[in-house]
Amino acid sequence: MIEQYSNPLSPEALQQIDAYWRASNYLSVGQIYLHDNPLLKEPLKIEHIKRMLLGHWGTTPGQNFIYVHLNRIIKQYDLDMLYISGPGHGGPAMVSQTYLEGTYSEVYPTIGQDEAGLKRLFTQFSFPGGIPSHVSPECPGSMHEGGELGYSLSHAFGAVFDNPGLVVACVVGDGEAETGPLATAWHSNKFLNPVNDGVVLPILHLNGYKIANPTVLARIPEKELFALFEGYGWKPYLLAGDDPLTMHQQMAGLLDTVVADIKAIKKQATDDATAARPCWPMIILKTPKGWTGPKFVDGLPVEGSFRSHQVPLSDPSQHPEHLTQLEEWLRSYRPQELFDETGRLQPQLQALAPEKEKRMGANPHSNGGLLLQDLRMPDFREYGLKLDGRGMKGPGDTLVLGKFIRDVIHLNRDKKNFRLFGPDETLSNKLDAVFETTNRQWMAETIDTDVFLKKEGRVMEMLSEHQCEGWLEGYLLTGRHGLFNCYEAFIHIIDSMFNQHAKWLKVTAGLPWRRKLASLNILLASHVWRQDHNGFTHQDPGFLDHVVNKKASVVRVYLPPDANCLLSVMDHCLKSRHYVNVVVAGKHPSPQWLSMDETVIHCTKGIGIWEWASNDACQDPDVVMACAGDVPTLETLAAVSILRERLPELKIRVVNVVDLMKLQPESEHPHGLSDTDFDALFTKDKPVIFAFHAYPWLIHRLTYRRTNHNNIHVRGYKEEGTITTPFDMTVLNEMDRFSLVQDVVDRLPQLGNTGAYLKQEMKDKLITHRNYIRANGIDMPEVRDWKWKG
Amino acid sequence: MIEQYSNPLSPEALQQIDAYWRASNYLSVGQIYLHDNPLLKEPLKIEHIKRMLLGHWGTTPGQNFIYVHLNRIIKQYDLDMLYISGPGHGGPAMVSQTYLEGTYSEVYPTIGQDEAGLKRLFTQFSFPGGIPSHVSPECPGSMHEGGELGYSLSHAFGAVFDNPGLVVACVVGDGEAETGPLATAWHSNKFLNPVNDGVVLPILHLNGYKIANPTVLARIPEKELFALFEGYGWKPYLLAGDDPLTMHQQMAGLLDTVVADIKAIKKQATDDATAARPCWPMIILKTPKGWTGPKFVDGLPVEGSFRSHQVPLSDPSQHPEHLTQLEEWLRSYRPQELFDETGRLQPQLQALAPEKEKRMGANPHSNGGLLLQDLRMPDFREYGLKLDGRGMKGPGDTLVLGKFIRDVIHLNRDKKNFRLFGPDETLSNKLDAVFETTNRQWMAETIDTDVFLKKEGRVMEMLSEHQCEGWLEGYLLTGRHGLFNCYEAFIHIIDSMFNQHAKWLKVTAGLPWRRKLASLNILLASHVWRQDHNGFTHQDPGFLDHVVNKKASVVRVYLPPDANCLLSVMDHCLKSRHYVNVVVAGKHPSPQWLSMDETVIHCTKGIGIWEWASNDACQDPDVVMACAGDVPTLETLAAVSILRERLPELKIRVVNVVDLMKLQPESEHPHGLSDTDFDALFTKDKPVIFAFHAYPWLIHRLTYRRTNHNNIHVRGYKEEGTITTPFDMTVLNEMDRFSLVQDVVDRLPQLGNTGAYLKQEMKDKLITHRNYIRANGIDMPEVRDWKWKG
């Protein structure tokens, strides 16, 4: 089934493309081994070799091969192309290529186009304080880090959404292809609009091996391999071989074919709005792992085997024959033909690279902040609920937000630079209003009864959190805006993707040539406290713990207590830059607390005393009742109302936290309160009863350095739950109003018998509650219909 | 491409199987709606309806259909079969089925086979304190929870490894099929040995819709659908339709065909050891979502649409026409034909279910603890390193462990009840020794140069952490033992899977009829502190934070400081039951501290004073130097040796922590030290400098209630790192010896000028270090070759 492609290269072009490839391979081997003698002007000696040999050769020559051929078609067809290096450790290739095309030296002038520059280029690689062996943010042209595997294809699709002129060549490693996220990412073609979006050209690099094993896709019959990609809805082209000159001709011919396919698809889609989902081309490139490297080392096969994954000749200093072999290997690329005496690439080879921003290392889409434009934002205040009494029931906080998001979408409809992502939960999370102005983008088949499914839409839904997150990351990395809405418990599915993105943000923030991106905004609705018909499996508020482990400069966590606060917070998040913002909000009808004017003040501060709920007259309270999150705020205020009614002389202060990072010391987080401000809110010595949305120890972890920490008593989710009523969830975790009242009593021995009676009454209430819900399946009216009386 | 299958059912059998299906559908609707009048003996009234209507109808009738047909082939072919319900919310189906076959009432006698039992069965569903709408641990026959999506197929394969007589029918939802983990799990067929392992029969339930969207696989051409599964290496059979009687005949015929295929494959594999990987059958079953439910509600289509996902008739109490429609729907199943006056299923229908342990609800594999046998364990002490001086360099801790694991595998080779799982990292993690006794199991193609790849082997490697974790979970849930080895940073990929498994353990521990399982053991090698050729992306020790959020009764974390301790810890973990054990260990040559006798004492205690490193003579120290993890222990002891040399009068106590849970209060964790014991180790008032493997705040979160908490100063990973030397990683995070010495000086003002001089010297050392590694790429000899002098 191996096809034959045309051989379009003239003899001269063939020799030049091969020379360019040799140059890049030479630079790649040089990075792994050399810290001196970069042009091999003298015979190779041990002292020219790095003392620690680290790096990855296996995938590198194949990626160099792909890159030089992509350069050719960029020039030939004037393409706007990005390169994504999916395999884990293709660093040497992309660094070599961006150096050869000139972008590397433009970004890092000390690594110039001369012998000294070459020496520095080689030395920095896999060297302390240098660059890692995978493609990293330091590498120009990169928008996808090769450290963790599985997200290249989702990133590629994210990059081309709303970039109709862009082609992303996405090299997928055959090891990476075994990961779950990558395995489902092939289905992204059902979500790509051929008119309004760009093109992803996947190149499965079937070099056969991972670290120590063959790859699955390299060991199935070719018939299955083709069927698999046809089944995924692609048109696969296979190119296999190891003879360089034959392969150059065939690759050039294949890419000509593929470009023709792409142009035909684009044209047909533009000409015929009713055209069915196209079958985009993809390439399966089968070349030996460690191609052109040593064939055997110490008698064992290396080229074409897993043994070429890292450093094929591992210890020249101890094995003289390795040194000889290394020199032969390096000289096999004939560097003296490729570089002039000063170390500069020969001009006729330089001419093979595209120019200026057409160079893949200089494509502005890979440094998305360059292209980023502010969103046109509606005034969030206009979407607020009019507060008709503290605690009035709202329609569901996310439902209110939905209207705001709808208009964000509407106002930016021409710019096409905002999308909403979610795993089939946009309606479930009550963001329905967005469908008044847009649809879900869906290129697969449709039938008459479908709703909100169109070929073009701002809402992207596939039942894969990995896919949603990956698409959004790719979209942001190329300079656009977005929001991911997800069930709270299942956001852990992308824990590791969040890690990688947060690290990308941290590193790029320190690179002056990188521009800041729009923040990654994650809305967690359907949260832990509402489990009416899910259950224990849907209960995990621990994403917040995970997030705050990352560098304070890039993470933000918000817990708006009501709809108006949610609007304010989301407005802030959508305008912010280079953060990961996590917002937790409820979707069920729930009490509302602040007018819009109060909201603006409260959310600007991020934390504050709710004076209308307090009776300490801004003086010394007896107890501080703190809360963060919608349900904790409700239970706190219900507890406060019991306490104020039953113990009117007790001075209570209510503190609400919207911006969780306010709790950390200012030395730890830029949002952190000073100790003076913290003490002013939480006192230096009074009991603090803190009802918290997530696991209670997170509050301790954030506040353990505060003066009054020893008096802070936190209630939150402690892994108790099942399918049950909203109120019962709080009871099971002792965060309910009746338990909070008991907590207060326990910490105020001065209440004496009065306290003891109240405590007993609260215990009785809990028993009554339990019996009631067991009999009726719903909460007691006194809880369900509770109203704040301020 | 829809095939026609034989119609093997006699008219009587056809009627009976349809009646059984109707009975199960009736019970399913009953669960969603009724809290009284369970046999519809009187006309349906509002008061018979639950006050909160919650649950999921959509997938239920299709799953009931599958289950009744599986019952038939179990009886017909005497199969040993398990049922896995992949779609999120198939709870009503599996509960109905296990009730009808009798297992439910055996496990829960109060839910008997009579009218009162039916009433209880209905009431408990989606009811506070009852059972959730997804298949849950409470349901007999379940070994896979339907709460989170994507792991059904990996679990199914885990269940059949080493169970050659077992068939797992794995119903995969077409929504679930969009997740990454599920998308790659289809490739599990390349790892299944047809002789030694059992059979997975996947049934893709193509009912077309998720919560609110169509599914991708339902909206691609049939040709692509077939190609996809052929590409995955399966033999797909499609059955589509909605006429019940036709569908019964066809499903019966199809299952006869599939059983014949399976028997033929098994026979061929047994007869011919050289047979190639077989093409196992799989079924694509296309039936309407909400099949047999209301066709229209309020004028909108429901059957065959996403609107049947949850409760089709949402509010009978407010809409009288809904009540009428509900009664018609319930009566359409003709309950009076199915149940006798007392509520018991008619005897001729009862006879359709398999008997005793052949019933899928009673299959002991679904309650793996029933089948679990202890491992034969070698004596771990015999694998220990002989301590030839404190700090002697070992060969790499995991390398030592490898020999122990090798012999665990060897000793249990006949029982075949232990496997080692890993994403292509078993060699990289230095567990090489296992290949002296076993291989990687691999049924895909092999070539001559392959190593350690055989059709049978105890090592399971695929480059998907999801797959490894899912296989292992399935293997444990069915009563076997295992170990998952993984790079530390990338274990976050399975955060959410860990959550679900930990929750399963917690819930099953509370069900008296469930037996305890072998623990889920996770070995994290290639940890954060060794980044010689990876980098920032590979640095995240936060899995520990994630783990300790789960219920203390099911999680354990170990940080063995050297190889002997690693052996002791792993021995303990492999013998333990019903925990998740997380063990972090190094793979590089590193110092060894304890003799085997000392190891046994230290690891049994889990925490202790290292007297040989201390000079406080078990009295009042001036400072406590605590450490947890191999690198922190090294840096702490190096700091101690500087301090003891330079400040000989300073009384230092060294405390090493192996079992992290020892730090928590005993009220929080069963391993937790009492306050008295904690104070005895850490003092009540002396400075504690704590060097910790992971994020430092985890130590604060565990110890914030301890007397001396305010004096505990923790160093650990704080998101600073790049590709660099081992020692430089500690420097970047201020956990190196020179920084720890400064921390001590800072906390002991009494040291006066002596301290100040020492501190300046340490600062100078750090500058020297920095310059040295920038110049040489390796650590200073004084650090590299440092030896403890005790």
Tens of pLDDT, residue by residue over A131-146, are 988 899 999 999 999 8
Q: How many domains does chain A have?
A: 3
In this structure, the dihedral spanned by the alpha carbons of residues B624, B628, B630 and B635, taken in order and rounded to 10 degrees, is: -30
Phi, psi angles (nearest 5°) of residue A173:
-75, 150
Taking only the tens place, the pLDDT of each residue in B551-598 is 889 999 999 999 999 999 999 999 999 999 999 999 999 999 999 999
Taking only the tens place, the pLDDT of each residue in A148-174 is 899 999 999 999 999 999 999 999 999
Q: If you write DSSP's letter for every residue of A121-178 in order, what string do you get?
A: HHHHBTSTTSB-SS--TTSTT--S-SSSSS-HHHHHHHHHTT-TTEEEEEEEETTGGG
Taking only the tens place, the pLDDT of each residue in B209-260 is 998 899 999 999 999 999 999 999 999 999 999 999 999 999 999 999 999 9
Q: Name the residue of chain B whose CA is nearest to A213's CA.
A: B424
Give the integer Cα–Cα distance in Å for B723 and B725.
7
Taking only the tens place, the pLDDT of each residue in A312-371 is 998 888 899 999 999 999 999 999 999 999 999 999 999 999 999 999 999 999 999 999
* A790: pLDDT strictly greater than 90: no
A514 to chain B, closest Cα gap in Å? 18
B277 and B403 fall within a common domain: no
* Percent of chain A surpassing pLDDT 70: 99
Q: Mark out the alpha helices in A626-750 (DSSP H runs).
A: 630-646, 675-682, 697-703, 726-732, 737-747
User: What are the beta bridge partners of residue A166?
Assistant: A80
Q: What is the CATH number of the domain that holds B565?
A: 3.40.50.970
CB contact under 8 A, B132 and A495: no
Read off the pLDDT of each residue in B495-516 and give the average, rounded to a whole number: 96
Query: Out of B178, B219, B453, whose CB is closest to A464?
Result: B178
More confident residue, A750 or B618: A750
Helix (H) or strand (E) holding B770: helix B752-776
Give the integer Cα–Cα distance in Å for A597 and A599.
5
Is B375 among the domain residues? no
CB contact under 8 A, A444 and B148: no
CB contact under 8 A, A535 and B147: yes
A182 vs A237, B450, B467, CA distance in Å? 19, 26, 13
A522 and A462 fall within a common domain: yes
Is A380 among the domain residues? no
Is A614 among the domain residues? yes
A161 and A277 fall within a common domain: yes
Query: Out of A179, A697, A777, whose CB is closest to B52?
Result: A777
Q: Name the residue of chain A whose CA is nearest to B501's CA.
A: A537
Q: End of a domain among A340, A359, A378?
A: A359
Is B297 among the domain residues? yes
Q: End of a domain among B359, B382, B417?
A: B359
Lowest mean pLDDT among A295-304, A409-418, A681-690: A295-304
Read off the pLDDT of each residue in A112-131 and give the average, rounded to a whole number: 94
CB contact under 8 A, A128 and B180: no
A304 and A269 fall within a common domain: yes
Query: Out of A132, A175, A506, whose CB is closest to B723?
Result: A132
Is the separation of the CB atoms in B411 and B424 below 8 Å?
no
- Quote the pTM value: 0.97
Nearest to B543 by CA among A702, A151, A583, A545: A545
DSSP B6: -
B564 and B702 fall within a common domain: no
Query: Out of B220, B496, B719, whose CB is closest to A233?
Result: B220
Taking only the tens place, the pLDDT of each residue in A647-666 is 999 999 999 999 999 999 99
CB contact under 8 A, B227 and A228: yes
A255 vs A248, A281, A357, B576, B679, CA distance in Å? 11, 10, 21, 57, 71
Taking only the tens place, the pLDDT of each residue in B522-548 is 999 989 998 777 788 889 999 999 999
Give the end-to-end CA distance of chain B in Å, rounded to a whole number.
78
Find all residues with CB under 8 Å of A184, minimum gap 6, and list them. Answer: A462, A464, A466, A467, B178, B179, B180, B182, B183, B184
CB contact under 8 A, B130 and A503: no
Side-chain half-sphere of A158: how many Cα atoms within 13 Å? 35
Give the integer Cα–Cα distance in Å for A413 and A410.
5
Per the document, the length of chain B is: 790
Number of CB atoms found within 10 A of residue A778's CB: 20
Q: Name the residue of chain A whose CA is nearest to B302's CA.
A: A449
Q: Which residues of B572-583 are buried (b: 16+ CB within 10 A; e: fewer)?
A: bbbeeebbbbbb
B649 to chain A, closest Cα gap in Å? 31
A233 to chain B, closest Cα gap in Å? 6
Taking only the tens place, the pLDDT of each residue in A555-605 is 999 999 999 999 999 999 999 999 999 999 999 999 999 999 999 999 999
A565 and A620 fall within a common domain: no
A569 and A629 fall within a common domain: no
B501 to chain A, closest Cα gap in Å? 9
- What is the average pLDDT value for chain A, to the nearest integer? 96
Helix (H, G, I), strand (E, B) or coil at B394: coil
Strand-strand pairing, A453-454 and A481-487:
unpaired
- Check residue B88 and give its pLDDT: 81
Taking only the tens place, the pLDDT of each residue in B322-370 is 999 999 999 999 999 999 999 999 999 999 999 999 999 999 999 999 9
Global ipTM: 0.97
B691 and B724 fall within a common domain: yes
Is B39 among the domain residues? yes
CB contact under 8 A, B773 and A233: no
B432 to chain A, closest Cα gap in Å? 11
* B3: pLDDT strictly greater than 70: no
Is the separation of the CB atoms in B285 and B205 below 8 Å?
yes
Provide the residue range defining the domain that includes B63.
11-359
- Check residue A1 and give its pLDDT: 40
Q: Name the residue of chain A whose CA is nearest to B151's CA.
A: A180
Reported as a pLDDT band with limits 50, 70 and 90, residue B51 is confident
Is A2 among the domain residues? no
CB contact under 8 A, B464 and A305: no
A158 and A291 fall within a common domain: yes
* B1: pLDDT strictly greater than 60: no
Q: If you write DSSP's letter for every residue of B172-212 in order, what string do you get?
A: EETTGGGSHHHHHHGGGGGG--TTTS-EEEEEEE---B-SS
Is B296 among the domain residues? yes
B418 and B350 fall within a common domain: no
Q: Name the residue of chain B whose CA is nearest to A470's CA.
A: B180
* B2: pLDDT strictly greater than 60: no
Phi/psi-derived region of residue B683, left when phi > 0, alpha when psi is between -120 and 50, beta in every other case: left
Per the document, the length of chain A is: 790
Side-chain half-sphere of A465: how many Cα atoms within 13 Å? 23
Chain B CB contacts of A776 under 8 Å are: 51
Find all residues with CB under 8 Å of A753, minimum gap 6, and list them. Answer: none
Side-chain half-sphere of B583: how many Cα atoms within 13 Å? 32
Reported as a pLDDT band with limits 50, 70 and 90, residue A535 is confident
Amino acid identity for residue A19 in this structure? A
Read off the pLDDT of each residue in B117-137 and give the average, rounded to a whole number: 92
Query: Out of B130, B450, B533, whose CB is closest to A54?
Result: B533
- Check residue B721 and give its pLDDT: 87
A216 and A331 fall within a common domain: yes
B620 and B577 fall within a common domain: no
Q: End of a domain among B338, B359, B380?
A: B359
Is A6 among the domain residues? no
Residue position matching structure tokens 């505990």: B712
- What is the average pLDDT value for chain B, to the nearest integer? 96
Q: What is the CATH number of the domain that holds B652?
A: 3.40.50.920
Amino acid identity for residue A387 in this structure? L
